[in-house]
Amino acid sequence: MFSPTREQLEVVEHRTGHALVRAVAGSGKSATLVERIAHLVESGSRLDQILVLMFNKSAADDFRSRLSRRLPDGAPEVFTFHSFGRRLARKLACDGALSHARLVSSASESRQFARQVLSEHFAEYGEEPEDLSNEALDEYLSAIDMLKGALYTGGPLPGWASDAARLLSSFKLFEARRRRAGLRFFADLIYDPVLQARQDELVRASLADDYGHVLVDEFQDINDAQMEMVRMVAGERASVMVVGDDDQTIYGWRGARPEFMLSLFEKQFPGVKSYNLTGTFRYGHALSLLANSCIANNTMRAEKLCVSRTAHSTRIRVRLHTHGPADLAVEEIHAWIAEGRQLNEIAILVREYANAVGVEIAMHRHGIPARIVGAASFAEQTEVLVLRGYMSLAGGNTAVWDPSNAQAIIAAMLNTPTLYLKRAELSRLTAPGAPLSRTLRQVSSGAKSWLAQIRGKTADAMEWASRQSPDAPAAPFLLETIRRLSLFEHIHRTGVRKERIDERCRMIRQVIELAREHQHTVATLRELMREIVARQEEAADGVLITSVHRSKGLEWPCVLLPDLAEGQFPAQGAPIEDERRLYYVATTRAQDRLVLLAPLDRTLVEHSKLGRTGSPAPGGIKASRFLFESNLMLAAQVAEHIEGGTVGQARTGLAADHGGLALVDRYLRALEHN
């Protein structure tokens, strides 16, 4: 039974007009939104007059289930942006305002289309074809979607796309071929109807004013195309209520930015009534104080506090290491289990998956099952598959393939870099028992000079690997393989987003460091990776490893953040306010325990003891600046007084600077008010 707080009740009973609801992590915004819709229905609004928009299918399914339980006699339809866009596209097609088109839903068809577009694009300019591996094609298609999310139609590319201008200058060709073929990709379900409505006032009028109420959850994730869709459908009639948290705007690569919540919504929908949901039911006071202390350093945000409204406390543990976080992560997992808790209550959240390699290895070594969500194990990443393939060749050209991954390994070797193999050639190379290098030379006889050169270089690398001993040290073997294949150059040449390029390179470096640190031979490293892949299938109830980006909207009893080193989190060169929002999201996923793992940094210890706000100059610190900004000891001391019933003494004797004391005062006043 929903028992609303004062803040929630104000949102539920909002009368009319547009509303912007800023909701902190764990504030019960979904429950509030369900109750708001129930209030509209019970106040006489027709179901078909209420439009509810969500950002992904799982969120829509969950919300639909909640809504049907609250309104068992009938509830409004709940759409994702894409499913609603598909409805609009069908309507416009039936009206003759938009062409009918088939939705492309398979990855293989999407890649084939992209490959044809790029081949034509390079041929048009008389250039050699670009490397068209599946990874490169997926990044290209993702970048095309990003351009459509920004409602790009041509002309100068946005700044983020400048590094991939050679690929993305094919945008107009991509669109011309798509329209001729009568196709729509998922991004086009929004892009096509929105562009058509922009260009034709009659079309725009036909889509507007069908609803009296439009409600959007997770509004901080919106991009330009989705915002235009909301504006277009609302028309002059609908009251629009959006719910989100500008401090959780972490999907910048999709086009999300905090300005949508801070100013752009009000500019599009004048007369907005603003509400704040500041009470969190997820975690205790120490974590609320930590989160407030850190995120306050952002300037691009709405001023608000997160205040705990739960009786239980959240324990925050800071562990400092001298040789990497992996062993400490294992210790924390064992401690959790020793308390009678479960492995599947633990989530390890990483800034990027390359940072999880050491932890994944340590867990394997200690027999702790782990499941990775959002990416393959490091041992199954494309570039690592390539290295595994060359390690399998060591000791002779009759490769020691991992039977569970043989096809994937061989495919990676033949596509990184791409060898432009025809289907018949590929079949010969992947036939059981085929000697790779010899067969590759055979199928390449008579090839164009540039193609023969690329294939010859790969065949040379394969023959070199086959002459190496399986007992040779793995690190030098990997470095020489990378050099012979120009693997780093390949990644930079085929990548689209700089962040993804950097992560792929870091993944390789992590594997080299693993080989060096544990003094692996080619054979032992090859076997370790085989074992890790095999155990993935047995880890359904194991510890979860996933990215911070995938964790938003979720929560776990125990959360570990293993990569809190300056340069890793925040990532080197990344916009610092974006990174700080990511840290805020990561920390606020925890319910009972938050474990922060960072390099030993005596400056951090001294900084925390003195209760200083902010952080020192980044160049002189090892631990993440976000730990400095979190005011760890101050958060723990104040929370202890609040939870111990001695709130009146919470400010007494605190070691804190003016900024820290000001935050404590604000928090205690908010707590008293609530």
What residue numbers bound the domain in which 549 lies?
285-369+542-673
Look at residue 170 and tell me if it is in a domain.
yes
Look at residue 82 and tell me if it is in a domain.
yes
One domain, residues 229 and 89: yes
Q: Tell me what pLDDT residue 523 has.
A: 94
Residue 468 has pLDDT above 70, yes or no: yes
Instruction: Determine the average pLDDT of the residues in 61-75.
Output: 94
- Tell me how far apart the alpha carbons of residues 31 and 27 are, in angstroms, rounded to a whole number: 9
Q: Tell me what pLDDT residue 400 has.
A: 59
One domain, residues 436 and 329: no
Q: For the chain, how big is the Rg over CA atoms in Å?
A: 27
Look at residue 273 and tell me if it is in a domain.
yes
Boundary of a domain, candidates 497, 514, 537:
537
Residue type, 430: T
pLDDT confidence band for 123 (50 / 70 / 90): confident
Computed over every residue of the chain, the mean pLDDT equals 90
Provide the greatest CA pair distance for the chain.
Answer: 86
SS (H, E, C) 392-441: HHCCCCCCCCCCCCHHHHHHHHHHCCECCCCHHHHHHHCCCCCCHHHHHH
Look at residue 188 and tell me if it is in a domain.
no
10 Å Cβ neighbour count for 668? 18
One domain, residues 202 and 243: yes
Residue 397 has pLDDT above 50, yes or no: no
> Please, is 345 exposed, middle or buried when counting C-beta atoms within 10 Å of its C-beta (0-12, 13-18, 19+)?
middle
- Tell me how far apart the alpha carbons of residues 197 and 134 are, in angstroms, rounded to a whole number: 34
What's phi and psi for 430, nearest 5 deg? Answer: -95, 5
pLDDT confidence band for 159 (50 / 70 / 90): confident
One domain, residues 237 and 384: no
Question: Which residues have a Cβ under 8 Å from the Cβ of 569 and sit 6 or more positions away?
Answer: 351, 355, 561, 563, 579, 582, 583, 624, 626
142-146 contacts, C-beta under 8 A, 24 or more apart: 142/496, 142/497, 143/167, 143/168, 143/496, 143/497, 144/114, 144/168, 144/171, 144/174, 144/185, 144/187, 145/185, 145/186, 145/187, 146/253, 146/254, 146/255
10 Å Cβ neighbour count for 212? 17
Concatenated DSSP letters for 152-197? --SSSPPGGGGGGHHHHTTHHHHHHHHHHHTEE-TTHHHHHHHHHH
One domain, residues 391 and 498: yes
One domain, residues 177 and 197: no
Look at residue 271 and tell me if it is in a domain.
yes
Q: Tell me what pLDDT residue 540 has.
A: 75
Boundary of a domain, candidates 277, 305, 333:
277
For residue 352, give the nearest of 368, 334, 372 by alpha carbon. Answer: 372
pLDDT tens-digit map of 495-531? 777 778 888 898 999 899 989 988 999 999 999 998 8
One domain, residues 565 and 460: no
Q: Tell me what pLDDT residue 658 has.
A: 79
Q: What is the dihedral of CA 71, 77, 81, 87, to 10 degrees?
A: 180
Q: Rounded to a whole number, what is the distance in angstroms from the first to the last CA of the chain?
A: 21
Show the tokens assigned to 152.
């790009």
Show the tokens assigned to 512.
């080299």
What's phi and psi for 262, nearest 5 deg? Answer: -80, -35
What's phi and psi for 608, nearest 5 deg? Answer: -70, -40
One domain, residues 319 and 466: no
One domain, residues 384 and 524: yes
Instruction: Determine the average pLDDT of the residues in 446-466.
Output: 89
pLDDT tens-digit map of 7-16? 999 999 999 8
Residue 404 has pLDDT above 70, yes or no: no
Give the containing element (helix H, strand E) for 350. Answer: strand 346-350
10 Å Cβ neighbour count for 367? 7
Boundary of a domain, candidates 488, 515, 537:
537
Look at residue 1 and tell me if it is in a domain.
no
For 37, 73, 542, the CA distances from 347, given in Å and listed in that order, are 33, 38, 10
pLDDT confidence band for 411 (50 / 70 / 90): confident
Look at residue 644 and tell me if it is in a domain.
yes
One domain, residues 73 and 110: no
For residue 60, give the nearest of 34, 22, 41 by alpha carbon. Answer: 34
One domain, residues 651 and 576: yes
- Tell me how far apart the alpha carbons of residues 542 and 368 are, in angstroms, rounded to a whole number: 7
Q: Are 544 and 332 in contact (CB under 8 A)?
A: no
Residue type, 228: E
Q: Tell me what pLDDT residue 126 has.
A: 65
pLDDT tens-digit map of 605-640? 888 887 777 778 777 899 999 999 999 888 988 888
pTM over 0.85: yes
Which of these ranges, 64-73, 231-240, 528-537, 557-566, has the smallest mean pLDDT? 528-537
What angle in degrees, to the nearest 10, is found between the helix axes of 602-609 and 632-643?
40
One domain, residues 271 and 289: no
Residue 319 has pLDDT above 60, yes or no: yes
- Tell me how far apart the alpha carbons of residues 579 and 547 are, in angstroms, rounded to a whole number: 13
Which of these ranges, 164-168, 263-267, 334-338, has the smallest mean pLDDT? 164-168
* CATH number assigned to the domain comprising residue 265: 3.40.50.300
In degrees, rounded to 5, the angle at the alpha carbon of residue 406 between the alpha carbons of residues 401 and 412 is 115
Show the tokens assigned to 452.
């023969």
For 83, 167, 610, the CA distances from 215, given in Å and listed in that order, are 15, 38, 46
Instruction: Determine the average pLDDT of the residues in 19-24.
Output: 96
Q: Number of structural domains, the chain?
A: 4
Which of these ranges, 58-72, 465-479, 523-537, 607-621, has the smallest mean pLDDT? 607-621
pLDDT confidence band for 128 (50 / 70 / 90): low
Residue 465 has pLDDT above 90, yes or no: yes
* DSSP structural state of residue 263: I
Residue pointed to by tokens 């987003």: 497
- Tell me how far apart the alpha carbons of residues 369 and 355 are, in angstroms, rounded to a whole number: 18
Q: Tell me what pLDDT residue 316 has.
A: 96
- Tell me how far apart the alpha carbons of residues 516 and 475 are, in angstroms, rounded to a whole number: 5
Residue 434 has pLDDT above 90, yes or no: no
> Please, is 598 exposed, middle or buried when counting C-beta atoms within 10 Å of its C-beta (0-12, 13-18, 19+)?
buried
- Tell me how far apart the alpha carbons of residues 124 and 134 are, in angstroms, rounded to a whole number: 22
Across the strands, what pairs with 273? Answer: 19
Which of these ranges, 88-97, 432-441, 626-635, has the smallest mean pLDDT? 432-441
Instruction: Determine the average pLDDT of the residues in 238-255.
Output: 93
Question: Which residues have a Cβ under 8 Å from the Cβ of 25 and sit 6 or more positions away?
Answer: 245, 248, 280, 282, 291, 306, 584, 585, 588, 589
Concatenated DSSP letters for 433-491? T--HHHHHHHHTTT--HHHHHHHHHHHHHHHHHHTS-TTSBHHHHHHHHHHHHTHHHHH
Show the tokens assigned to 133.
């591996």
> Is 474 or 378 the better-scoring residue by pLDDT?
474
Sheet of strand 346-350, all strands in order from the earlier edge strand to the far edge = 315-321, 590-599, 556-561, 346-350, 543-547, 370-373
* CATH number assigned to the domain comprising residue 412: 1.10.486.10
Look at residue 186 and tell me if it is in a domain.
no
